[in-house]
Structure formats: structure tokens, C-alpha cells
């Protein structure tokens, strides 16, 4: 009992200090995460820029049934989402292209990106909209993003194969490539393969 009393007093003295340090660590962690977030594009801005020549920009939410889920899982190598939101621009009764805005997990945080695809399923542009990591934002550089242009669902779209990763941002590079590939496969499987273009022009956006 005599030995436990000094230990108890030391514990009482150290406890406030320990609590203070833990609080500081938590605050620094959250403040660091918040300050690392960089917004390059808003949804409104990217759609306006993607479809600058279109007279109308609409959106449809496509539900993925069991048959399509199986086909998509085989092509993607993992389970697809339950539905997908597809933006599209029209002019003079013709579709200018399709766009998907999505998220893909980077090293720790999701990367928000947008992909513009023409009516033949070929990538026209890829943009990083929001980057939330403290490192690796070089994936926003045009030199890296331009590698996706001209590719379609027929290409691998994989770092180390037909996409060169950014030095020091290999995880973010791979993540963005994965997300871009998913976008073009979704458009190909849900819109282009069933030859649904005429239906998109006749039905209003959701």
C-alpha cells in the first residue's frame, strides 16, 4: 500500500497532461486533413466546361439489374455500384457526349474525379475535381491526365501497362486509373452496347 500511494499521485499529476496531448493530436490530425483538401472543380463548373458546345445538359440515374451486375463484375474485376449517375449533353437532336462524376479511394481519402466520353465511348477528358491527400496531387497535372485521352473500355487503363504513374504518387495514379476505367466500362455496358442512344434523346432526364 505504501508503494501504491506515490504511483497514484504521479498518475493524478500526469493525467491532465496526457489528456491535453491527446486533444492536441486529434486537433492537428483533423486540421491537417482539412487543409490538405484542394477543390479544382465544382460539379457545375466541370459540366459547363465539358459540355460547352451543348445546348442542353441533363442527367439520368441508371439502375443496374442483376444481369448487368454480373457482366460488369466480370469486366471490372469487382462488384459494380447499384446505380450510376450519367450526365449528357445534346445539341440539334444529337448527343455530344457523356460524363460521370465519381470517387475512388486514394491512399487514405477519396479522390473526386470526372470523365468525359464521346458517343463512341472514347475518353475526351479526365479531371480531378477534389483532392484530399497531403501528397500526390500531381495526378492533377495535365501530362498525367492526358494519358487517358483517346482510350476506351477496350484498353487496359492500368498503371504500369498503358498509364505511367506519377513519381511519388503511385497509389493516387492507380486509384484514378481504376476510377476512369470503371467510368468508361459503365458507359459502354449500360449505354453503348445495348445501343440506347436513340432512347436517351427521346426520354427526359431524371
How is 13-57 classified by DSSP, letter by letter?
HHHHHHHHHHHHHHHHHHHHHHHH-EE---HHHHHHHHTTT-SEE
pLDDT number for residue 14: 57
What distance separates the 2 farthest-apart alpha carbons in the chain? 91
Would you place residue 206 in the very low, low, confident or very high pLDDT band (cuts 50, 70, 90)? very low
Mean pLDDT computed over every residue of the chain: 87
Structure confidence by residue, pLDDT tens digits, 44-53:
999 999 999 9
pLDDT number for residue 197: 73
pLDDT number for residue 5: 56
More confident residue, 132 or 9: 132
Structure confidence by residue, pLDDT tens digits, 135-158:
999 999 999 999 999 999 999 999
What is the side-by-side strand order in the sheet with 94-105? 38-39, 123-131, 110-117, 94-105, 83-91, 56-63
Is 116 in contact with 86 (CB distance < 8 Å)?
no
Is 39 in contact with 76 (CB distance < 8 Å)?
no
pLDDT number for residue 26: 42
Name the DSSP class of 160: T
Mean pLDDT of 74-95: 96
At 6, give phi and psi (nearest 5°): -60, -40
Among 142-151, 180-189, 196-205, the range scoring the smallest mean pLDDT is 196-205
Would you place residue 22 in the very low, low, confident or very high pLDDT band (cuts 50, 70, 90)? low
> Percentage of the chain with pLDDT > 90?
76
Q: Closest Cα partner for 131 from 105, 153, 152, 149?
A: 105
pLDDT number for residue 194: 86
Would you place residue 200 in the very low, low, confident or very high pLDDT band (cuts 50, 70, 90)? confident
Enumerate the β-bridge partners of residue 113: 102, 128
Amino acid at each position: 500500500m505504501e508503494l501504491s500511494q506515490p504511483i497514484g499521485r504521479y498518475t493524478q499529476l500526469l493525467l491532465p497532461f496526457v489528456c491535453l496531448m491527446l486533444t492536441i493530436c486529434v486537433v492537428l490530425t483533423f486540421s491537417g486533413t482539412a487543409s490538405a483538401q484542394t477543390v479544382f472543380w465544382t460539379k457545375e463548373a466541370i459540366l459547363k466546361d465539358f459540355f460547352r458546345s451543348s445546348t442542353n445538359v441533363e442527367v439520368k440515374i441508371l439502375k443496374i439489374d442483376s444481369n448487368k451486375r454480373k457482366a460488369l463484375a466480370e469486366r471490372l474485376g469487382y462488384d459494380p455500384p447499384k446505380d450510376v449517375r450519367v450526365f449528357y449533353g445534346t445539341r440539334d437532336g444529337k448527343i455530344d457526349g457523356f460524363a460521370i462524376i465519381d470517387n475512388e479511394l486514394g491512399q487514405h481519402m477519396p479522390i473526386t474525379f470526372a470523365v468525359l466520353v464521346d458517343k463512341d465511348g472514347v475518353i475526351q477528358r479526365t479531371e480531378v475535381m477534389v483532392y484530399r491527400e497531403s501528397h500526390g496531387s500531381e495526378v492533377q497535372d495535365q501530362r498525367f491526365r492526358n494519358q487517358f485521352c483517346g482510350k476506351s473500355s477496350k484498353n487496359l487503363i492500368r498503371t504500369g501497362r498503358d498509364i505511367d504513374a506519377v513519381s511519388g504518387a503511385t497509389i493516387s495514379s492507380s486509384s484514378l486509373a481504376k476510377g476512369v476505367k470503371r467510368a468508361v466500362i459503365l458507359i459502354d455496358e449500360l449505354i453503348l452496347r445495348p445501343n440506347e442512344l436513340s432512347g436517351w434523346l427521346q426520354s427526359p432526364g431524371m
